Amino acid sequence: MALISDGRFVEDGWRRLAEEEGLPKSGKIVVSLARLEHALAHLSDGVSLGVNAPNTTDPGALAAALPRLQLVEVVFPAFADGRGFSLARLIRRAGFKGELRASGRLLADQYAHALGCGFDTVEIPDDIAERQDESQWRAALAAHARTYQRGYVAAGSILDARRKAAAK
């Protein structure tokens, strides 16, 4: 799997725990949604915790855990399944400040939208990374300076820019 941050392929510092694997005493770990409650109850102080959540997850199921999580990984089973974008917006609206990661079969064309919905990083399978190299993800990042969607992109929305221009 390739991890993309700021349009570049980067190393992933998180480790996914297998369902039967015990909780470590330190490090950055990602557990399944099914293991989240157990991990929160038995977590050592030196462990950063992340959760792997299907794009069908009810955001309310994560709400109580969000303050203790450093990573929420939303799984996209197919590039045409956009429910993960909605889930990301709801997680950010709930106040999550940690890393929000899209994981799965996303394409470079969806990168700007993912960032606009609140994702920080995108993790893609190796077969997509071979077809769409780092230069395509960087180009996708620079393709749109503004969007109609108000979100988490620093440049602001097209509508905000129009309102500012009209106010002058």
Instruction: For the chain, give the secondary structure using H, E and C.
Output: CEEEECCEEECCCCEECCCCCCCCCEEEEEEEHHHHHHHHHHCCCEEEEEEEEECCCCHHHHHCCHHHCCEEEEEECCCCCCHHHHHHHHHHHCCCCCEEEEEECCCHHHHHHHHHCCCCEEEECHHHHHHCCHHHHHHHHHCCCCECCCCCCCCCEHHHHHHHHHHC
> In this predicted structure, what is the pLDDT of residue 63?
92
Rounded to two decimals, the pTM is 0.85
For domain 2-167, give the CATH number: 3.20.20
In the predicted model, is pLDDT for residue 140 greater than 90?
A: no
Q: What are the residue boundaries of the structural domains of the chain, listed by start?
A: 2-167
> In this predicted structure, what is the pLDDT of residue 90?
94
Q: Mean pLDDT over all residues of the chain?
A: 89
